[in-house]
Amino acid sequence: MAERFLIVIFISALSALRCFSQIITPDDKLRQIISSDGQVEVTLPYTDKKSVELLTTNVSILSVKDNVIHISLSQLTVEWFILQKFDYKIAEKVDNKGVISAMNVNQAMDWDTYPTYTQYDSIMQSFIKRYPSLCHLDTIGTSVNGKLVLALKISDNAAVDEDKPEVFYSSTMHGDEIGGFVLMLHFADYLLKNYSLSNRVKNLVDNLEVWINPLANPDGTYGMGNTINFPKRYNANGYDLNRNFPDPFTPNTVKQKETLDMIKFMRKHKFVLSANFHSGSEVVNYPWDRWLSKLHADDSWFNAISRSYADTAHFYAGPEYMNYLDNGVTRGALWYIIYGGRQDFMTWELHGREVTIELDDQFITPAAQLTLLWQNNWHSLLGYLENALYGIHGLVRNVNSHAPVPAKVFISGYDEDSSQVYSDTLTGSFERFLNPGSWNLTFSAIGYWPVTVNNIIVTSGQKTDLIVDLSPIPNGVETISSTIPILLYPNPATNIIKAILPDETAGTIYLRIINQVGMLMDDYNIEVVQGIPIVINVKSLSAGIYTVVFTNTVNKTSFYGRFVVIK
């Protein structure tokens, strides 16, 4: 009897040990989910802004709601997160059962299902076949896995690069935020179909070059396949593309292919107004994302155009839609801070004006709700683009030859933190969006006397035309005939100047700085990465005008620029 009792105890102990060994810790569960799904959402209690700062530097914050921080982890960030010993909870996996794939292109173009990747490509091709004079298809680049990142240009003379303001809509750089993907396809279709039917649409298409990129992260949305089965936030390498753009203070961080291609595309087109579309909340988010205490010089203008988008959505969708934070509007950093976001890069580095529009509380919009998403937003989409028709639209010319002049356009005592704009190098045209009122604009260009135009009236919902003629400075620096000029900024400068060089200059370059009398002031070799600005330290130079020459050490191609140092 005692022997049998001991055997029972032994077997029970063995079973308990076996059960204990099968217990999975939360950390191991995180690793398992990452291994199978490529991502996982966790939540933490909000304690203070300092903790959010630590998190946003190392992981992707999805949102901060009701004192809860929602975080997405990938294979690149999960081990750091585990090492912090946070008291976290694993969120329920996002349901993708509502993702219904279209049977064919015709069904996909009813806009209430999701296209396959091949159907998406066919839809974009069909636009240019059906409306050849109104649209042009371009490739921004390819994803890590080789899928095309496409952009459709819509304008009344789409085959020609005209001197019109260029605007840009882009969606789904987070691959699992897919409602905006179909919304953008539907919007492109709407513009093309209604060009001859709607005066409002015709006005936009005749006076703007509208670029639409429905899907910025095809690998995240489709993976290696053709249908949307398990969409992921990240690109194929596990990077969050909306944390991957150059930050104003850390511009040379390593970038992903999709980011580098997008930067090159945006630099080429110099978009004056843009928006990128996401999901997970319902709010219009405007700059800055990275600074809590710093306001953009045009903060009130940004708030006004964001307010207009949200209020228009309220009118057509009802008060329950897009009412998060300040009734559908927020300055980014007031919500939570991020670094490496596209809207700050576009606004700071490229001197454009971009907002981030969160379309749906659900990351994955069910196919059955795609029509509702369209009804809630299409009026706002039109109204947002119309902002590019207003404000000051000008031309900067040489007073003698009327040749275009690339000039800095700024408002003294108002512009700061890269809020100035520049006239186009080829055409001399510029756009400056401002609140209604009277404004004084100053125009400065290398080799020309600066000019200030006072009391320029900006009226709500109207365009103000302006022509500015600049007079050359006699005996300026001689033109360097063997090189091609580039734009340097900020210019004039005190401590540093940045330069973006053409692609053929990437690699090792020889940099020379020459003063007005031809004396070599500094020279050295520097490595240049395509799309990333060169930072030139001019703090040691005396006040004056200088020429900087960049020469590729392999193909000997040279480029130059002139800058002014002030003390």
Q: Given this model, what pLDDT does residue 51 score? A: 84
* Whether residue 223 is found in the same domain as residue 264: yes
Q: What is the CATH number of the domain that holds 411?
A: 2.60.40.1120
* Whether residue 208 is found in the same domain as residue 264: yes
* Whether residue 336 is found in the same domain as residue 202: yes
* Whether residue 507 is found in the same domain as residue 374: no
* Whether residue 128 is found in the same domain as residue 59: no
In a domain, 384, yes or no: yes
How far apart are the C-alpha atoms of 310 and 314, rounded to whole Å?
A: 6
* Whether residue 64 is found in the same domain as residue 202: no
Look up the domain containing 556 and give its range. Answer: 484-565
* Whether residue 123 is found in the same domain as residue 245: yes
DSSP code for 435: -
In a domain, 201, yes or no: yes
Tokens for 447? 């080799």
221: closest CA among 135, 279, 284? 279
Q: Tabulate helix, strand, coil % of the chain (nearest 5).
A: 30, 30, 40
* Whether residue 135 is found in the same domain as residue 246: yes
Q: Among 415, 446, 470, where does a domain finish?
A: 470
In a domain, 4, yes or no: no
Q: Domain total for the chain?
A: 4
In a domain, 521, yes or no: yes
Q: Is residue 532 a contact partner of residue 507, using CB atoms and an 8 Å limit?
A: no
Lowest mean pLDDT among 2-6, 159-163, 443-447: 2-6
Tokens for 73? 């982890």
Would the pLDDT of 411 be above 90? yes
DSSP code for 517: T
pLDDT band at 118 (very low <50, low <70, confident <90, very high): very high
* Whether residue 327 is found in the same domain as residue 224: yes
Count of alpha carbons within 13 Å of 280, Cβ hemisphere only?
Answer: 22
Task: Count Cβ atoms within 10 A of the Cβ of residue 393 and give its class: 0-12 exposed, 13-18 middle, 19 or more buried.
Answer: buried
Would the pLDDT of 429 be above 70? yes
Q: Given this model, what pLDDT does residue 48 score? A: 86
Q: Given this model, what pLDDT does residue 22 score? A: 60
Q: Which residues pair with 63 in a beta bridge?
A: 70
DSSP code for 110: T
Q: What is the CATH number of the domain that holds 109?
A: 3.40.630.10
Q: What is the CATH number of the domain that holds 522?
A: 2.60.40.3580
Q: How far apart, in Å, are the Cα atoms of 49 and each of 53, 159, 288, 375, 561?
A: 6, 49, 16, 37, 43
* Whether residue 238 is found in the same domain as residue 278: yes
Kindly report, residue by residue over 221-275, the tens digit of the pLDDT.
999 999 999 999 999 999 999 999 988 877 667 679 999 999 999 999 999 999 9
In a domain, 477, yes or no: no
466: closest CA among 431, 501, 518? 431
* Whether residue 294 is found in the same domain as residue 413: no
Question: The whole model's pTM is what?
Answer: 0.85
pLDDT band at 406 (very low <50, low <70, confident <90, very high): confident
Q: Given this model, what pLDDT does residue 505 score? A: 73
* CA 285, chain centre distance (Å): 12
Q: Is residue 424 a contact partner of residue 269, using CB atoms and an 8 Å limit?
A: no
Q: Given this model, what pLDDT does residue 478 score? A: 39
Average pLDDT over residues 169-185: 98
Task: Count Cβ atoms within 10 A of the Cβ of residue 333 and give its class: 0-12 exposed, 13-18 middle, 19 or more buried.
Answer: buried
Residue type for position 224: M
* Whether residue 46 is found in the same domain as residue 148: no
Helix (H, G, I), strand (E, B) or coil at 556: coil
How far apart are the C-alpha atoms of 8 and 14, rounded to whole Å?
A: 10
Q: Is residue 364 a contact partner of residue 176, using CB atoms and an 8 Å limit?
A: yes
Q: Strands 89-90, 39-45: parallel, antiparallel or unpaired by DSSP?
A: antiparallel
Count of alpha carbons within 13 Å of 184, Cβ hemisphere only?
Answer: 31
How far apart are the C-alpha atoms of 152 and 168, rounded to whole Å?
A: 10
Q: Given this model, what pLDDT does residue 203 score? A: 98
- Average pLDDT over all residues of the chain: 91
pLDDT band at 545 (very low <50, low <70, confident <90, very high): confident
Residue type for position 200: R
Kindly report, residue by residue over 324-383, the tens digit of the pLDDT.
999 999 999 999 999 999 999 999 989 999 999 999 999 999 999 999 999 999 999 999
In a domain, 100, yes or no: no
Q: Given this model, what pLDDT does residue 506 score? A: 76
Task: Count Cβ atoms within 10 A of the Cβ of residue 370 and give its class: 0-12 exposed, 13-18 middle, 19 or more buried.
Answer: buried
